[in-house]
Structure 1
């Protein structure tokens, strides 16, 4: 069966799209742009293959689909901006095989203007075709929340902004096969800015509660109780919770140097969130000191080293910096994570605890960095000599909470 859709980039954005497409009965070709491929269990891969998914290393198949969606990752580069090298590679590969009447959609997180000013010239030059006349071009922000069982591609509205009204409608026709609701933006720049706003909204609000965590600790106030009470307000408030830092693939953008208008609030949020691993280590050292122990030589167990609960993804996880700073203080660091079989920091393997309760009982300090579903926090709070909970997962009074 020939593929109807090509998903270019099978990382955190492309893989969920490919899964949703084959679940909707759309024959899908998956083409990787680099080493990053999302985690798939053998059972999941077999299920996708049985429904019409075809992984491909030969780009020839890209010229035989009606819709091509570029989902290449755009990590932060050495200059602090988004690295578009994988988007560029995907565009060049697709352009050489692009046929008239194909719908091309970009889902990668990018700055406003990228679809028109960066992607469009690559596609037109490589294909000899003109966007908006010979093929459709649109942007649709990826709204993936890995591990979220309540909000799936099917029940999450999809925003689309096309180069022309016809481009928008062509992209809308495709996404209407996957989702219950399609929202049409005025154009690709508006759709790109939707992604920008949504990502920055998350980071700014996490920064606020992270600062509140430090303030409440200094004041002797239970922040977690404050949040519990505040989220009962039915309007004007949305609950966010603090943590040891912010990870994941959604990179906040302050647009410094872009149109001469930096987003000062986002810059500050990045600074606040970036300081959280250091704050966690400061709290850890203070706790050890209060109990007559020095960080130097202390046995510290880190629980959960992924960026999000119940996932194996370590992209941007604050656990790395927490481990590095503890090691710099002379602590002996080990870890436990049911989703991570081995873990290295600064190219050195970190010892993995096989028996969770025994390791917690043996450690001078246990730090919960990520609350995986399998962790029994009540049991851990009893077994651990000293427990620092950065996620507010333990019962009140059972541990020291961030």
Structure 2
């Protein structure tokens, strides 16, 4: 059974099913298709399926031509989960958000497993890439496999391999980012390593699925804690009349023992604001209180309110109330030059502005229309920028420093400019305030 699947992978006959066609699933499908495997994409969104099958990319940093090339090479997207039976390997790339109590929400994972459970068969490999707590593969996925009468390591192969996508990063791609893999058994790990080695340059095997699950959490907790430190230092530096960006840049010249992290209006993306709380939740099962992780989360979550406080102070100095003020949010994606809105701190700032009674607009060429989101909604379209448009707002708040903004024009025409990204560091002007 093992040798049949290994041979099928080695000669690229194995059909790979990608479950969840989003910011992780599409680049993964693209890479697997690129090396010659037949790839089937499965998703619950009829709109997403139609886009992909018509050769259109739903993600800004993946061009339409790339999707069209996938289609021409045999890639197909479908909502028919019974076709999971066709696949020799199934890779789950669905969201794992938090619920309103900041507890793990695995409903997308379990819904996916419910959909494919009747079609699991001997000789398949199942890999979970969605971020989750240590133990999820064993506690949640394994019962589906055993209930199907299959035995991992003998006639079925179960692995966990955390996604490491960084949308819009020009320096690293799916192929070049090392892939951590943990197996339910040694045989599972062996087959999983063979699969990922077929399209990823470097595979990093670890001792278990639990270890692989913890790796992903550590990576993002490391970033969350250090960004939290940078954000707290920003508040302290501002009170002391110091420019935190100057301080971080100078500290970064030390060739050892320091890694620069920069502050902002909060943290965004699907990973850093969410993943740490998967561990804090699981740690409570062991009687542990992860204070350091939770403190960083609290600091980062409070940054939108800090931005609002700085805006209120700057408006007050101009005898202007935030209530009724026209405010333009510059950049609403969670990071530079992408269209990814997941957990974007810009949205939280916009919601605070609305709560305070401000009249809110936004400008972001990456997000021409404010998208449908599970918890946030604005009936807005991106505003085109010009000197007259900029001058028409009481305040302009730079939240995401996209490279296509004309920063000089914005600075020269804004009545009040709140800079949360240090784009105007070192510049002194009466209309610039930092937050």
TM score, norm. by length of structure 1: 0.94
Between the aligned partners of 2:376 and 2:80, the Cα distance in structure 1 is: 36
- Does the 8 A contact of 2:263 with 2:421 survive in 1? yes
What is the distance in 2 between the residues matched to 1:279 and 1:49? Answer: 47
Q: Deviations over 1:159-210 (max 9, x none)?
A: 0000111111111111112221111101100000001101111111111101
1:54 paired residue number: 76
Which of 6, 13, 17 pairs up with 2:28?
17
Match of 1:353? 383
Match among 92, 105, 127 for residue 70 of structure 1: 92
Provide structure 2 residue ranges, at least 5 long, that are not aligned to the other structure.
Answer: 1-11, 49-56
The alpha-carbon distance between structure 1 residues 386 and 87, as it changes in their structure 2 partners (threshold 3 A), is same
Indicate the residue corresponding to 1:80 in structure 2: 102
Structure 2 counterpart of 1:190: 211
Counterpart of 2:423 in structure 1 is 393
CA contact (8 A) 2:401 2:421 kept: yes
Matched, 1:7 2:18: yes
RMSD (Å) for aligned C-alpha atoms: 2.1
Of the three residues 239, 259, 273, the one matched with 1:238 is 259
Alignment pair present for 1:123 and 2:145: yes
> Contact 2:246 / 2:425 at 8 angstroms: preserved in 1?
no
**Correspondence for 2:65:** 43
SS of residue paired to 1:394:
coil
The correspondence of residues 1-400 of structure 1 with structure 2, limited to 5 A, is 4-33=15-44, 39-40=58-59, 42-125=64-147, 127-250=148-271, 251=274, 252-253=276-277, 254-256=279-281, 257-343=284-370, 347-350=377-380, 352-397=382-427, 399-400=432-433
Q: Distance in 2 between matches of 1:14 and 1:36?
A: 16
Query: 3-state SS of the aligned residue for 1:314?
Result: coil
The secondary structure found in structure 2 opposite 1:382 is: helix
Cα deviation, residue 2, structure 1: 7.7
TM-score when normalising by structure 2: 0.87
Q: Deviations over 1:76-116 (max 9, x none)?
A: 11332111111112222222112212111110111000001
Cα distance in structure 2, aligned partners of 1:100 and 1:274:
46
Equivalents in 2 of 1:162, 1:36: separation in Å? 34
For 1:280 and 1:119, how far apart are their aligned partners in 2? 42
**CA offsets per residue over residues 10-53 of structure 1, 9 Å max, x none?**
12221221122112222210001458958245433212212331
SS at match of 1:275: helix
Cα distance change, pair 184–121 in 1 and its aligned pair in 2 (3 A): same
